[in-house]
Amino acid sequence: SEEKSLNFLEEIIEEDLKSGKYQSIVTRFPPEPNGYLHIGHAKSICLNFGLSLKYGGYTNLRFDDTNPTTEETEYVESIKEDVKWLGFQWKHELYASDYFEKLYGFAVKLIEKGLAYVDDLSAEEIASLKGTPTEGGKDSPFRNRSIEENLQLFNDMRAGKYKDGEKVLRAKIDMQNPNMHMRDPIMYRIKHAHHHRTGDNWCIYPMYDFAHGQSDSIENITHSLCTLEFIPHRELYDWFIENLEIFPSHQYEFARGNISYTVMSKRKLLQLVQERHVESWDDPRMPTISALRRRGYTPEAIRDFCDRIGIAKRENLIDVGLLEFCVREHLNKIALRRMVVFDPLKIVITNYEEKMGEVEMLKGEDNPEDPNSDSREIPFSKELFIEREDFMENPPKKYFRLFPGSMVRLKYAYIIRCDEVIKDESGNVIELRCTYFPESKSGSDTSGINVKGTLHWVSATNNITAEVRLYDRLFKVENPAAEEGDFKSYINPDSLQVVQTVYAEPALKNAAINERYQFLRKGYFTLDNKDTYHRLVFNRTVTLKDAWAK
């Protein structure tokens, strides 16, 4: 059997297992709870959980909640829901904030080793002494405080003796290091702010660089995976671990997943919500996991997408068409087929006799792709609706739909011929009079008539109504974040089209939130999980690539 070639992380892990460096691996997914997860996070989730499933070991869900001002419990809950929905189970649910005491201890240890100091300079002064990548920096006048003084001052910082910004704790490394991150980076800053978990216990908070690697180490993470922008942080990650003499987690970097026609940074997504460009974080036009779920995407499709894009060491923009392809592939296999007319044109079958109290029920397979699928019954009647766009009075050549004198098949039903066009006073077509051929019934057609077009339809007297929401791309340009000016000026004003009333076959009365539907020739749809209560609201997940019988 042909094996898929290994990606660079799998190669590293296989080597580490072969050499006996590790017996099994431990990874983590470390979201900051400052927004909802998006499709880029799904890539990181699939990668981290996928590797521990493949190689044995486990994955932790760790909330990287060291910044009290941007984080909220609402986000924590949504993140857990999304990871579970994607199909993954974490071993431990952990919070970097649970390590605050330990991290404080680590800082004290570095002070005691003469490797950290309290600095009184302001943020601006620190920045101005940092130098440039080509020019060395300058030492802070507070760099050579004694260990005792540093211990006392750091203790006072924690005790709340100082205001925000008055002091910081810095690592004492090297102000000449070519890597700017090694020029005495800040480890702690003072922030008198309420934290979503630790409340008012702390007024000093660790910086990302002094929390992330140490948290990895506390959890015995073997392979700590992050995105490319953290490459220059790796040297510092290693420096802290080495000097603290703690478990040697290692950081590896891979390229972010970026998708065309959307934005992915949580800060930008938050702006779209706050400024009401979209309705909410789970507005089906958003690239968030909750929005994709609401729109009808399946976890299988998202995992397949992440698998196909793989991992790279260079940033690129992935065509949103690939994501749509993946969901189409899956929905084609699982979606129940149903007929829904969006813009009805009435047809009357003049030679069809309805018997009192009797309805002719036709059989329609639920899913021709699934041999185990059921079928449903569809009522036929003398008066039917077809799609207005499936009729043309003066069609061009090779038009296989309905026009005066032409014949088409009604899906699951009969062949009909259009005999007469009825118009109102202003000349609008309001009705078609047709003949049907009783011996042409689908499944038992002995008519010998050949037609090229097949149309979907619903009974005009036996149907249910619903609302449908059709979505287009949220942005007009491929990469809005890379365009000049405000990314919001590239929003597509036509990204949502609502059709208030469509006519559906009665089987859709029992539609369920978790079910997926293919509305024949219209696309894949799912019930909206928020707005469906007194009426049915369907979201279009994606269009069909090939509409049959066009």
The count of residues interacting with Mg ion (CB under 5 A) is 1
**1 burial level (CB within 10 Å; 0-12, 13-18, 19+):** exposed
Q: Is 401 a catalytic residue?
A: no
Beta bridge partners of 104: none
Angle at 438 between CA 436 and CA 442, to 5 degrees: 95
Residue from 9, 25, 43, 463 touching ligand ATP (CB under 6 A): that is 43
Sequence-distant (6+) residues with CB within 8 A of 62 are 28, 29, 30, 94, 95, 96, 215, 219
Q: How would you label 286-296 residue by residue, b for 16+ Cβ within 10 Å and e otherwise?
A: bbbbbbbbbbb
Residue from 13, 26, 27, 44 touching ligand ATP (CB under 6 A): that is 44
Least distance (Å) between residue 84 CB and ligand ATP: 16
End-to-end CA distance of the chain: 41
**247's tokens:** 């478990």
**Which of ligand ATP, Mg ion, none does residue 528 bind (CB under 5 to 8 Å by kind)?**
none
Least distance (Å) between residue 236 CB and ligand ATP: 16
Does the annotation place 32 within a ligand binding site? Answer: yes
Does the annotation place 404 within a ligand binding site? Answer: no
Give the C-alpha separation, 85 to 503, whole Å. Answer: 32
What is the identity of the amino acid at 442?
S
**130 burial level (CB within 10 Å; 0-12, 13-18, 19+):** middle
Give the C-alpha separation, 49 to 223, whole Å. Answer: 12
**537's tokens:** 């609201």
Give the C-alpha separation, 236 to 492, whole Å. Answer: 42
Q: Is 256 a catalytic residue?
A: yes
Residue from 13, 25, 26, 41 touching ligand ATP (CB under 6 A): that is 41
Q: Catalytic one among 138, 197, 256, 488?
A: 256
Contact 157, 118 (CB under 8 A): yes
Least distance (Å) between residue 42 CB and ligand ATP: 8
- φ/ψ (deg, to 5) at 481: -70, -20
Closer of 270 and 348 to ligand ATP (Cβ): 270
**Which of ligand ATP, Mg ion, none does residue 41 bind (CB under 5 to 8 Å by kind)?**
ligand ATP
Other Cβ atoms closer than 10 A to 145: 19
Does the annotation place 227 within a ligand binding site? Answer: yes
Q: Catalytic one among 32, 81, 149, 383?
A: 32
CA 5 to centroid of chain Cα atoms: 26
Give the C-alpha separation, 407 to 113, whole Å. Answer: 89
Does the annotation place 42 within a ligand binding site? Answer: yes
Helix (H/G/I), strand (E/B), else coil: 525: strand
What is the identity of the amino acid at 190?
I
Choices 262-270, 327-335, 348-356, 542-550 (CB under 6 A): range interacting with ligand ATP = 262-270
Least distance (Å) between residue 86 CB and ligand ATP: 13
Residues 13-42 that bind Mg ion (CB under 5 A): 32
Least distance (Å) between residue 197 CB and Mg ion: 17
Does the annotation place 178 within a ligand binding site? Answer: no
Other Cβ atoms closer than 10 A to 346: 16
Residue from 109, 181, 256, 277 touching ligand ATP (CB under 6 A): that is 256
Q: Catalytic one among 145, 183, 234, 266?
A: 266
Closer of 118 and 226 to ligand ATP (Cβ): 226
Least distance (Å) between residue 196 CB and ligand ATP: 15
Closer of 288 and 298 to ligand ATP (Cβ): 288
Residue from 13, 36, 40, 456 touching ligand ATP (CB under 6 A): that is 40
Query: Which of 142, 83, 1, 6 minimizes the C-alpha distance to 289?
Result: 83
Length of the chain: 550
Does the annotation place 64 within a ligand binding site? Answer: yes
> How many angstroms separate the Cα of 175 from the Cα of each of 46, 138, 238, 384, 453?
39, 6, 18, 80, 76
Does the annotation place 27 within a ligand binding site? Answer: no
Closer of 258 and 539 to ligand ATP (Cβ): 258
**Which of Mg ion, ligand ATP, none does residue 250 bind (CB under 5 to 8 Å by kind)?**
none
**240's tokens:** 């802290």
Q: Is 226 among the residues that bind ligand ATP (CB under 6 A)?
A: yes
Does the annotation place 39 within a ligand binding site? Answer: yes
The count of residues interacting with ligand ATP (CB under 6 A) is 15
Contact 137, 183 (CB under 8 A): yes
Q: Is 264 among the residues that bind ligand ATP (CB under 6 A)?
A: yes
Q: Is 433 a catalytic residue?
A: no
Choices 4-12, 24-32, 154-162, 400-408 (CB under 6 A): range interacting with ligand ATP = 24-32
Least distance (Å) between residue 45 CB and Mg ion: 14
Least distance (Å) between residue 5 CB and ligand ATP: 21
Does the annotation place 40 within a ligand binding site? Answer: yes
Contact 520, 339 (CB under 8 A): yes
Residue 303 is inside which H or E element, if any? helix 299-309
Choices 260-268, 353-361, 422-430, 531-539 (CB under 6 A): range interacting with ligand ATP = 260-268
Give the C-alpha separation, 280 to 267, whole Å. Answer: 14
Residue from 155, 265, 280, 492 touching ligand ATP (CB under 6 A): that is 265
Residue from 13, 30, 61, 95 touching ligand ATP (CB under 6 A): that is 30
Ranges assigned E (strand) in 141-195: 168-171, 186-190
Residues 175-204 that bind Mg ion (CB under 5 A): none
Binding site listing: 32-34, 38-44, 64, 208, 227, 264-266
Binding site residues, ligand ATP, CB under 6 A: 30-32, 40-41, 43-44, 64, 226-227, 256-257, 264-266
Catalytic residue numbers, as ranges? 32, 256, 266
Binding site listing for ATP: 32-34, 38-44, 227, 264-266
Binding site residues, Mg ion, CB under 5 A: 32
